[in-house]
Amino acid sequence: MLVFFKEKLVFLAVPKTGTTAFQTALADRADIIIRDPPELKHAPLYRYNRFFRPMFERVCNAEMETLALMREPISWLGSWYRYRRRPFTIGKTNSTHDISFDDFVQAYLAPTQPGFANIGSQAKFLEPQHNGTAVTHLFRYEQPDQLRTFLEDRLGVSLRLERENVSPQLDLTLSPAIEDRYRRKYDADFALYDSI
């Protein structure tokens, strides 16, 4: 999470959407950077609403806008799958070594997800709250120039992004039946992405 207080802007770090590259590029410009623990770095909108928003409103008398990136849902699952196949995951419960992408997605669709497939949902991460708190500015991961232009204009900076946390390239083709199940069960993710 990045906070730009003067500009009243909070950049929520949706996992697997390239936010580490923005964090690195904007580290000198941000007023607050939350790098760890992951539960705070990747605080979803409901956690921001519960803990961070009240702090800004009560302590700083400031109403902040939020922004976030969302990745195409199949690509997002693929990024998790590839990330959890990196060498440091071998032998760990969240490793995706020795399973196919189809098997990973089937595990994600299961009523009780095993550790390697327990990754949440982008729609849930970005879900508007009952008090009206919602993501003010939502961008597609696949269109980084739109976010770059927005940030350069809003923050008065010139951004140079480097790729970080790059996972190995793998085949991410889903069988049609599993893709159909995924699209039906997580239709909120696809609908939200299509609305951007």
Q: Which fold has domain 2-195?
A: Rossmann fold (3.40.50)
- Long-range CB contact pairs, 191-194, < 8 A, 24+: 191/123, 192/70, 192/122, 192/123, 192/126, 193/70, 193/71, 193/72, 193/73, 193/122, 193/140
Question: Quick one: pLDDT at residue 167?
Answer: 67
Question: Quick one: pLDDT at residue 123?
Answer: 98
Angstrom distance (rounded) from CA 171 to CA 175: 12
**Residue in the structure block whose two tokens are 């770090």:** 13
Question: Quick one: pLDDT at residue 37?
Answer: 92
The domain limits of the chain are: 2-195
Question: Quick one: pLDDT at residue 182?
Answer: 98
Tens-digit pLDDT string for the chain (196 aa): 999 999 999 999 999 999 999 999 999 999 999 999 989 999 999 999 999 999 999 999 999 999 999 999 999 999 999 999 988 888 888 899 999 999 999 999 999 999 999 999 999 999 999 999 999 999 999 999 999 999 999 999 998 887 766 666 788 999 999 999 999 999 999 999 999 9
Angstrom distance (rounded) from CA 93 to CA 89: 8
Question: Quick one: pLDDT at residue 60?
Answer: 93
Tokens of 34: 């939350």
Question: HSE of 104 in the Cβ direction (CA atoms, 13 Å)?
Answer: 26
Pairing of strands 9-11, 2-4: antiparallel
Question: Quick one: pLDDT at residue 165?
Answer: 67
